[in-house]
Structures are given as C-alpha cells and as structure tokens.
A and B are shown apart, each in its own frame.
Chain A
C-alpha cells in the first residue's frame, strides 16, 4: 500500500470526481460564513435562482464589522450596519445550521466559534471566505480560505473545484523554551521560508514541539500558515485533539462518539509517507519573535536589531526593506527593545482564545499600563471566551492594569469597525498581518505573542517575557 500523508488522506476522502487535468470536485463538510465575503455570493444565488445545497453545513456569524464596545447602541456606521443586516436577511432566507448574529451571546470570530462549539471536527473539509480558515487544520481538517465566487460555488453545490496542492512538512522537534508560544513558532516558520514559501502547498506541522502544544497553540500556528503562503496548515489528530473535543456542544456523543474517535485516530500521515518539501526547526533554539516591517517575513527575535538594508544584496528585497523602514518610522540597527509603542491589541483569530488571555493576564497581574501607552485593547474571540475569562477573573486583572476589556469580534486586527490605529501610531499586536494600513491607515504594526504584547503594554516598549518574574 502507498504511504499517504494526512493531506493525501483528506484529499482522497473528499474527491467526488476529477477532470482529465486533475481539477477535482472536492466535497465540503463545513462552510463558515461571515458578513464581509458572503453578500455578493448570496446575491449570485438569487440572480441565478439557485438554492443552498446543504443548509446544515453552514455556520454563520457577524464578526468583522461588529463594534467591541457600547453594544446597546448598535452599529453606528451605516455601511457596516447594512452589511451585518444583509447577513441577517440572507441567513433568514437561505438558512443555516446555526447563526450567531451580532449581540448573540455565542457570537464571535468565525475561527473561534467553529472549534469551541465542535462545529469543526477532525477529517472535515472546512472552508470560509476568509484566508485564516487554515486555523481549523489544527483538528486534522483540510481547511482553507476561498473567495466570494467560491463561497457561492460551495453554497450552490457543496463542492469546490480544486487542484491538489503539494505536501510540505514542517517538523518542529525539541522542548519549547518558557516564554515561547505557537505564535513564535509560526513567526519563525514565516521567517525561515518567507511569505511565499508555502505557496501551492498544504503544510503539516509535526514533531514533538507540535505535539506538546495545546489546541489553542496549534490553532494559532495553523492560522498563520497562510502568512507563509500556504492556504492550508494542519496537525495530526492525537489525544490533545480528542480531549479538546469531548463534550463540546456539537461533538458526537455515546456510541457515535466512539465510532468517530476510532476514525479520527486514523488521521495521521503514515510512517514513511513522502513530502515534497521538508523544513526542520529546532524548538530549543526559539525565542520570542517581533516583526519590524510590513510583511510577516520581516521578523526578528527580541534579542535582535532592526536589519540594515545596506547589507541586503537582492535589489527587490532591499527596496522592500527600505520602504518598510520608512513606513514603520524605524532606523536600521535599532535594538528591538528600544522600540516604544503607542497602543496594544490583544485579540484576533490568531490569539484571542482563553489560553491567550490567560497568558496575557499572567504577565499583567499586579502591574499597570505604561504612561506612554495610550490604549490597550483586549478583545476576546467570542462570547464564550469572554464569559470564561470573566469567570476566571481575567477581566479584573486587565481592567486593574488600565487595559480595556471589550466585546468579541475581529476588531483592530483589520479595523473594519471603529477600532483602529491613527496614522503613525505604533502597536504591539497579537494579530496576523503587519501590512501597510492593516490596522488603520498609516498605522504601524508589530506582531507578537499575547504575553509579549501584554508585557509591551506594561513596559511601554518591547521587553523579553522570559525575563519577567
């Protein structure tokens, strides 16, 4: 028998039929829908007079446009409000398995609510009109982001047209040092292979360091596979996966649970299976990472300095670095620890889960926001994360430190709601993209882990969480 990778297995088990050139109709089990990339897809269905193929595959929520404070006042921006109301109307007309609209207590970021409710299960194909759908690969799923035409295609046919990607293995072995997280592993991978390094690939993360990560850590890592160019990231199923799922609202129960678990345990790459590319990382050498530029590959560790473009030989890269330094308002060779910040954002589909908030609170406990830091936003990923954090008293720790404790949503990861950076403001952010203007026109983003962001909020500049007591 041919040895198969996890991706080979997921692909083969969802292939409905194939064209001569290998273009395959791939069956989609779970379709996550949010307000930004779906309105034109539903309009397309309407114009063509088509129906939704399988309503019970659709899980919908409003997350990108929703405000994170004063929920009682509704959505003030009329254009945002119309987009959210359009989702309400479309779900009412076309149906869904579940819908958590704005103000629902289970509302939240689509990539947080899927896993926490058991809507994401191992062996599924999961798609969403959002590039961070790769998050769900943490459960041994084939999960990736699609455009609006493909959202419409999945709604109408329950399938996607796809070509098989290449297999890439990212092997991370060794004990993860204290203060290093899934986020730092993700940034280390992007640093190593670049933002196009995984283009055309489905990446499996494996090795002892990955097995040691919690589901939250694995989700953070798979979430950022797309920042390395890979549409899909994934981790094999193990006890950590199964323990996480047990008892989730939509997870199977009883005899069906046992049957499901037996199947899920097969969701591993066979020993000796062949990967087109293998990247190895030694976990023991990892440190907390901080991005300095306008692409996630422009990243160094807390011990480093801002790189000097004069030392870069490739002219296109050098020009990119020079442009990034101007945009970021940074001088070459500045120590990362000397960079002062104006704002902090703790949240996003990358880092807004309970473990992330615990890590941030652990740093903040008994400390205060630095005087030069204008605002620290803590935005839980969902209503359930918020509730859990409040049960544990994390909200008090944040508020006592002068941090703001907000309602769930995508918030300042991309600033489609009112949470934005002003031009020139510098932010330590737990989100996933430091592109120009991403957090607000002219805003300057440094990507870090939750503990590093919290520590920067307390110090006013970047500090090494490993040195905090």
Chain B
C-alpha cells in the first residue's frame, strides 16, 4: 500500500450528498480482473456524454463540460471535498481504486459509507471525517479561489488551510499506523497465525458442524 504521511494538494468540490459507488465507478467497469485501469472511468456517467465501455480509449469521448472535475481549475486535484454519506452503496473496491488512480489521495466529508471507508484505508486513500459545518466552510472557501489547496498531516491529524487555520481529525490508531508505514495488513495478521490456529482448533471442538 502507498504510504500516507503529509500531502498538500489542489481541492476539488463534489457538492452533492449520498454519492454512491455506482456513480463513482459504474458496473460495466467491474468486469475487469485487474486492479488498475479505472481512473479514466471515475464518475464515468457524469464525466462523459456517451456511455462508457470497459477497455475503451477515453481520450476522444465527448466530455460533459458541466461536470465539476472537467473544469480546468480542478485539473490535477488530489483532495476531494464531499457531502454526507460519500461512497454509500456497494462494496466494490474499484471505487477507491478509481479515485486513487485518478489522482486523489484524500477525501474530506461529513460521513462515508462504511464499506467504502474501510476500502479506502486499505488503498492509501485517506477518508477524513469533519463535521458538517467545517466541510461547509471548506466548500465556501474553496469556491472563489482557483488553486485552493489544503495540506493534510496524518501524523499530526490535521487539515491545514491556506489561511493557516487548521482542523483536527480523528483516525483509528491502527489504521493510522498502517497508512503511515504503507503496511500490508495481511502480513501483520499472519504474525498472529498461531493464535488464529488455536482459536480455530477450540472452535472445531465446540461447534464441529461449522467444519464440514
């Protein structure tokens, strides 16, 4: 997993609530058996005017000029500010894969779909939760200033604004540890293989019908 320590980047706004994972990456792209190639289809149905197909060359597709990420001022954005319940819906990890490949390293929203939140953490994409008032303020501060950027310091758990003001955010210590170090959690878990094995042996005796 890609490490996350300190990141400073251009902010793009996604000003709608309940953005679901079907919108983040539509189902036709889930047919891929690879982990890469989803960035060009992020928000496909909103971003382009035609219907996207997997494996297609997107460079000549008609662009929806009204879609926020297509505005030139947001080119190269790496921090997405969003409304409540971002990433609700399906469990597809293709959603954080697509966001990451597009160039996003962090999202700031009042709340997330639980599965999306987890999936993001496993992919070095930092989902930051701030209360609605603060997110609202970020939306209104970012709007009039092309080039509006934020700095995120995971170690210190702060989002630093251009005016120097900062917002503290919470993150689970274990997730933070994995993100800061870019750890693959399977490797960490397998250090406890003997404990898992012992638990399993006990379970086999207590509930043998689970092991047929």
Task: Please give the residue numbers on chain A whose beta carbons come within 8 Å of chain B beta carbons, in ascending order.
Answer: 16-17, 19-21, 23, 25, 27, 29, 36-37, 39-40, 43, 48, 50, 53-54, 56, 64-65, 77, 79-80, 82-83, 86, 121, 123-124, 129-131, 133, 144-150, 152-153, 156-159, 161, 163, 195-196, 199-200, 226, 229-231, 250, 252, 256-257, 259-260, 263, 295, 297, 316-317, 319-320, 323, 414-416, 433, 435-438, 441
Contact = CB atoms under 8 A, between A and B. Distances in A.
B26 A16 contact: no
A148 B38 CA distance: 15
Contacts of A37: 91-93
B156 interface: no
B199 interface: yes
Nearest to B33: A39
Given A37-B91, A153-B189, A121 B209 contact: yes
B137 interface: no
Nearest to B90: A131
Contacts of B55: 79
Contact of A65 (B31, B34, B111, B210): B31
A157 B122 CA distance: 16
Contacts of B207: 123, 260, 263
Contact of B22 (A23, A80, A435): A435
A466 B45 CA distance: 38
A79 B31 CA distance: 6
B22 A437 contact: yes
B32 interface: yes
B112 to A, nearest CB: 8
A171 B14 CA distance: 36
B92 A196 contact: no
A275 B211 CA distance: 32
Interface bracket on B: 35 or more
Contacts of B35: 40, 43, 148
A54 B196 CA distance: 12
A50 B186 contact: yes
A199 B34 contact: no
A40 B18 contact: no
Interface string B77-103: 000000111001111110010000000
B173 interface: yes
B189 A159 contact: yes
B119 interface: yes
A158 B199 CA distance: 11
A131 B117 CA distance: 13
Nearest to B211: A56
Contacts of A196: 18, 84-85, 88, 111, 113
A146 B91 contact: yes
A161 B174 contact: yes
A223 to B, nearest CB: 13
A53 B186 CA distance: 12
B88 A437 contact: no
B174 A147 contact: no
Given A147-B91, A158-B200, A441 B119 contact: no
Contacts of B208: 256
Contacts of B45: 436-437, 441
Given A79-B54, A200-B114, A256 B91 contact: no
B28 interface: yes
Contact of A319 (B16, B91, B112): B16
Contact of A36 (B30, B84, B96, B119): B30
B27 A415 contact: yes
A86 B23 CA distance: 26
B129 to A, nearest CB: 11
B212 A436 contact: no
Nearest to B174: A23
B91 A16 contact: no
A40 B33 contact: yes
Nearest to A200: B114
Contact of B85 (A79, A195, A252, A323): A195
A320 B18 contact: yes
B27 A433 contact: no
A199 B113 contact: yes
B22 A438 contact: yes
A53 B118 CA distance: 22
A257 B26 CA distance: 44
A51 B29 CA distance: 28
Contact of B209 (A43, A79, A260, A317): A260
Interface string B144-185: 000000000000000000000000000011110000000011
Contacts of B199: 16, 27
Given A25-B189, A147-B93, A317-B17, 11 more contacts: A23-B175, A43-B33, A80-B31, A150-B119, A195-B85, A195-B88, A196-B84, A199-B85, A199-B114, A260-B209, A415-B27
B31 A83 contact: yes
Contact of B92 (A53, A147, A257, A435): A147
Interface in B4-18: 16-18
B134 interface: no
A56 B33 contact: no
A39 B32 CA distance: 9
A40 B173 CA distance: 27
Nearest to A319: B16
Contacts of A43: 33, 35
A150 B122 contact: yes
